[in-house]
Amino acid sequence: MLEKNGIEFAGLLSVSQDIASRTISAVDVTTALIERIEQIEPSIGAFASLCVDEALAAAAQADREIAQGLHRGPLHGIPIALKDLIATRGHVTASGMTLFADRRPDEDATAVARLRLAGAVVIGKTKTTEAATLAHHPNIPAPRNPWSREHCSGFSSSGSGAAVAAGLCFAALGSDTGGSIRIPSAMNGVTGLKPSWGRVSRHGVFPLAEYFDVIGPMARNAADLAAVLGVIAGPDRRDPTAAAIPVPDYLGHIDEGISGIAIGIDFDAWETCCDNQIFAVIKEAAEVLADLGALVRPVSMPEFDQTKILPLILAGAAEAHRATYPEMREFYGPGLSAMLDHAAKLKAADFSASLNYANALRGRLATLFTGIDLLLAPVLTGPVPLAGVLEAALPGEAPMDLLRFNPPFSVSGQPTITLCGGADKDGLPIGFQLAARPFEEALLLRAGHAFQQATTWHVRHPSPR
């Protein structure tokens, strides 16, 4: 049984079991997190806004329903945070932009509506970089990494990663266009799932580049991710890109292990491109997975030039801001303005070449996965950087090099899970990712769960300061 004091770093499912058995109330759990947010949030700055009154009311309703024998599932009574580009009825959803500081949607995004139906307690909206790009708006302080306030918390689901890592919520939703779930998951030492393109409805989500954008969960561990994904995934009549295929029982298959699963790893590429600390963690992760029965095989990752898909992202961003830019340029930060100005200079041939390149890469990755089930890859090529260093280098090679192994799986629409596999010399987390074929999230979650059953990196947490 969990106690109210110290509950902040417990897993979602363990808290859920105690709420369901009424050994602790959802109100007590929510109150404990609100008190922790009051204590820790000033030094972290993970939240754009809080939903305190509504959260306590939802928790009280969950307690009443459970007392009456109505249990809605593993998210019932669980405090969850939402990236602040996911529409939340009646609450400011600013997408990290000062332009939208007063925007209050009339309805929930589909993912939020499904969380509420499952009994989840929305505790707040987490900060994001401006419109989910690589830089926070200069008037909105970036979240700080709970492991070290001097280090970066990631792009662009930075607030979600920091909030989960700091014990301010049990899970959070993020979005990912080119690494925005994976990067903050790795930097903050949490577990994150980038679903397949089309696995989760994007209705009510402010876009960056819709042909890459996905919504996914960030949490303590793979089993907790499975619980959240099982609720938010599935077709949606309001989003025609949400795949009309059944949602597996992710939790029901979580313990099936990975014996006989073929995992590819490009040792030469990872060693050449990565800092020694990163490569050491990847090698150790491969050894752990092999000990669990996986068949680790050497493969060659297709070459990838990030600059060749940039027109697709720029064109997507231009479409998202067509109604407000450049007419309202004064509300835009320099990073987003530069992107949109660059987009205005694109020609049709640039977009066509980018689309052709993306399609070719998608084909090469599909061919690679005819011989393997999963691919083990870095999230970052180096340790977590100091806060502001990458932003100051934009645009430039350094930020793109650090993040280079994220966009390929956005282009291909493949799902990935980010796991913590070690720590650098300064004690900050080092993450890695496993990628699977489209819509094979169940296998990713099984692999992540197996790895976490054999290791303890995911149960480490930063000390409060």
Instruction: Kindly state the tokens that stand for 93.
Output: 């959803």
> Do the Cβ atoms of 49 and 65 come closer than 8 Å?
no
Q: Which of 16, 25, 83, 185 is catalytic?
A: 83
* Assigned domain for 2 exists: no
Going by C-alpha positions, the residue among 21, 28, 20 that lies closest to residue 7 is 28
160 is catalytic: no
Give the number of other Cβ atoms within 10 Å of residue 132's Cβ.
29
Domain with 419, as residue range(s), is 7-459
- Residue owning tokens 């947490």: 461
The CATH number of the domain holding residue 24 is 3.90.1300.10
- Residue owning tokens 């752990």: 288
Global confidence as pTM: 0.97
pLDDT of residue 45: 98
pLDDT of residue 393: 78
pLDDT digits (tens, 9 = 90+) for 271-293: 999 999 999 999 999 999 999 99
Digitized pLDDT (tens) for each residue of the chain, 465 residues in all: 444 557 999 999 999 999 999 999 999 999 999 999 999 999 999 999 999 999 999 999 999 999 999 999 999 999 999 999 999 999 999 999 999 999 999 999 999 999 999 999 999 999 999 999 989 999 999 999 999 999 999 999 999 999 999 999 999 999 999 999 999 999 999 999 999 999 999 999 999 999 999 999 999 999 999 999 999 999 999 999 999 999 999 999 999 999 999 999 999 999 999 999 999 999 999 999 999 999 999 999 999 999 999 999 999 999 999 999 999 999 999 999 999 999 999 999 999 999 999 999 999 999 999 999 999 999 999 999 999 888 887 776 767 899 999 999 999 999 999 999 999 999 999 999 999 999 999 999 999 999 999 999 999 999 855
pLDDT of residue 2: 47
180 is catalytic: yes
Angstrom distances, CA of residue 89 to CA of 272, 365, 384: 48, 39, 35
Q: Which of 153, 180, 201, 410 is catalytic?
A: 180
- Return the amino acid letter for 457: W
pLDDT of residue 112: 98
Secondary structure of the chain in HEC code, one letter for each residue: CCCCCCHHHCCHHHHHHHHHCCCCCHHHHHHHHHHHHHHHHHHHCCEEEECHHHHHHHHHHHHHHHHCCCCCCCCCCCEEEEECCECCCCCCCCCCCCCCCCCCCCCCCHHHHHHHHCCCEEEEEECCCHHHCCCCCCCCCCCCECCECCECCCCCCHHHHHHHHCCCCCEEEEEECCCCCHHHHHHHCCEEEECCCCCECCCCECCCCCCCCEEEEEECCHHHHHHHHHHHECCECCECCCCCCCCCCCHHHCCCCCCCCEEEECHHHHHHHCCHHHHHHHHHHHHHHHHCCCEEEECCCCCCCHHHCHHHHHHHHHHHCCCCCCCCHHHCCHHHHHHHHHHHCCCHHHHHHHHHHHHHHHHHHHHHCCCCCEEEEECCCCCCCECCHHHHHCCCHHHHHHCCCCHHHHHCCCCEEEEEEEECCCCCEEEEEEEECCCCHHHHHHHHHHHHHHCCHHHCCCCCC
412 is catalytic: no
Q: Which of 156, 157, 158, 412 is catalytic?
A: 156
* Assigned domain for 464 exists: no
pLDDT of residue 464: 57
* Assigned domain for 353 exists: yes
Instruction: Kindly state the tokens that stand for 293.
Output: 């029965």
Total number of domains in the chain: 1
* Assigned domain for 1 exists: no
